[in-house]
Structure 1
């Protein structure tokens, strides 16, 4: 999908992480003539400096929907463009807090759409991404839900014991 973007899009892709696929991806980057537009950062201990500079978080995973990487990106206001797998739609609201692709073909179209967003549209989508994380995944919101669950279970348990 990235290779299909026109050069005038002036998009740069930074790949974080290392592993067995890296060499093949680097070769593919050269083969597609993308060496100047794709950077391989390798394994990094702190992803946040990369996220604070990013406009979009891309994931084409076919199995990892709710990853820590996705939550971290959204918490930094980075708009996700991800495949719609394994609970992804529970986190990302399509076209409101990010984009969900149901196929690799659709993914390319969503990448074009995302790059075509106005600054105001990007800002609004980024804000909604952050709001989603704060409302559903912040320590406070998780602790509050856990306490409510415990209270409900304790109340149910005392009702059953009588």
Structure 2
């Protein structure tokens, strides 16, 4: 008899997408012990990603991926997805059903509660997309989960405030990063990365790895960087990512005449090869859960300049592993970037502190082990006599 734990993971977004919540899901699914788990990943989306990004998932014998595209949970597509998930649950007897993002969470909460099955909501952000009506809905839905997990304590505090989440349901499991893949660059790796991107050896390179959406506030970064570039002519900015705000970003670069100082790298599945070219990472979101981009940069020994929101407050220790600035404040952001650009010793010191913190607190193995233990503890509770 196959005694492996049967895990159903449901997400709104394409599993193979390069975003932070998708990388979390890829890491979790591929690193849970394959001799202990059978995993089904369901994306409520039909999009397939270009290139080879994440396609190693498709070759894992203990994994399978399905698409159940949902436009809205309250229309026909949502009802069809709910019916299929209900049928799968009854047919395949999953031990754990875990969802992330709003559509998946709603469908998970509305599935029938079968004896011996554990239902988990995995919150990946501060809930900035939720309307007051949706927050009210989750106040009613939250008690239907056995646990609510978040990668940052700030997210759990926000859920307690906005959704009145019971503290007994809260579980904090920080994101993890692969410290072997993401590691401080050798001098040769740094040289090679810069040559690949056409960067000068003496350039002070700031990088931003983020999807181009309004919440990531690329316009604030560009306004700040224009001031930095005026004060530090060798400063350069790499923008890694694409998204609906790309035309806005392009227009702002044009208006600020930053063509020679900003590189638009679009979607990339080789971020680990781009980080060695950078001197620091910048993330100026107006809301943030726990950023994988920050974790990966810190693992590579880079200092981070980030807005003081959400999980950034936990990750970045101000003036120790990086700098924290107020959100939507380009002037303060510019001052911090300029100071860091002029302070090579501070960049080295903060980068070393960042790497040490990742090694001690945010390993990928530690994250996966914590989820494994959570599943086993909850299953033991549901099956206790």
**TM-score interval, normalised by the smaller of the two chains:** 0.7 to 0.9
CA-CA distance at 1:134 after TM superposition: 1.0
**Structure 1 counterpart of 2:214:** none
CA-CA distance at 1:88 after TM superposition: 1.1
**Structure 1 counterpart of 2:260:** 36
Where does structure 2 lack aligned partners over 5 or more consecutive residues? 1-223
CA-CA distance at 1:140 after TM superposition: 4.7
The equivalent position to 1:131 in structure 2, one of 322, 346, 356, is 356
Larger RCO: Structure 1 or Structure 2 (Cα < 8 Å, ≥ 6 residues apart)? 1
Q: Which runs of 4+ in 1 moved over 4 A?
A: 140-144
Q: Provide the C-alpha distance between the structure 2 equivalents of 1:122 and 1:8, rounded to a whole number of angstroms.
A: 16
TM-score by length of 2: 0.37
Count of residue pairs brought into register by the alignment: 151
Deviations 1:27-68 (A, max 9, x none): 110111100000100000110111111011111101115211
The equivalent position to 2:297 in structure 1, one of 73, 80, 93, is 73
| RMSD, matched Cα | 2.2
**Structure 1 counterpart of 2:335:** 109
The equivalent position to 1:13 in structure 2, one of 221, 237, 249, is 237
User: Residues 67 and 28 of structure 1: is their aligned pair in 2 closer, same or farther, counting only changes over 3 Å?
Assistant: same
Does structure 2 conserve the Cα–Cα contact (< 8 Å) formed by 1:15 and 1:41? Answer: yes
Is it true that 1:98 corresponds to 2:330 in the alignment?
Answer: no
Is it true that 1:86 corresponds to 2:329 in the alignment?
Answer: no
Q: Provide the C-alpha distance between the structure 2 equivalents of 1:91 and 1:75, rounded to a whole number of angstroms.
A: 12
Q: Provide the C-alpha distance between the structure 2 equivalents of 1:22 and 1:28, rounded to a whole number of angstroms.
A: 10
**Structure 1 counterpart of 2:269:** 45
SS at match of 2:227: coil
The structure with the greater share of residues assigned to helix is 1
Does structure 1 conserve the Cα–Cα contact (< 8 Å) formed by 2:232 and 2:338? Answer: no
Q: Provide the C-alpha distance between the structure 1 equivalents of 2:308 and 2:240, rounded to a whole number of angstroms.
A: 21
Does structure 2 conserve the Cα–Cα contact (< 8 Å) formed by 1:65 and 1:84? Answer: no
Pick the structure with greater CA Rg: 2
Where does structure 1 lack aligned partners over 5 or more consecutive residues? none
**Structure 1 counterpart of 2:345:** 120
Q: Provide the C-alpha distance between the structure 2 equivalents of 1:87 and 1:139, rounded to a whole number of angstroms.
A: 17
Instruction: Select between 28-37 and 3-12 the one with higher mean Cα deviation.
Output: 3-12
Q: Provide the C-alpha distance between the structure 2 equivalents of 1:23 and 1:143, rounded to a whole number of angstroms.
A: 38
User: Residues 8 and 67 of structure 1: is their aligned pair in 2 closer, same or farther, counting only changes over 3 Å?
Assistant: closer
**Structure 2 counterpart of 1:4:** 227
CA-CA distance at 1:3 after TM superposition: 0.7
Q: Provide the C-alpha distance between the structure 2 equivalents of 1:101 and 1:80, rounded to a whole number of angstroms.
A: 11
CA-CA distance at 1:84 after TM superposition: 0.6
Q: Provide the C-alpha distance between the structure 2 equivalents of 1:65 and 1:10, rounded to a whole number of angstroms.
A: 32
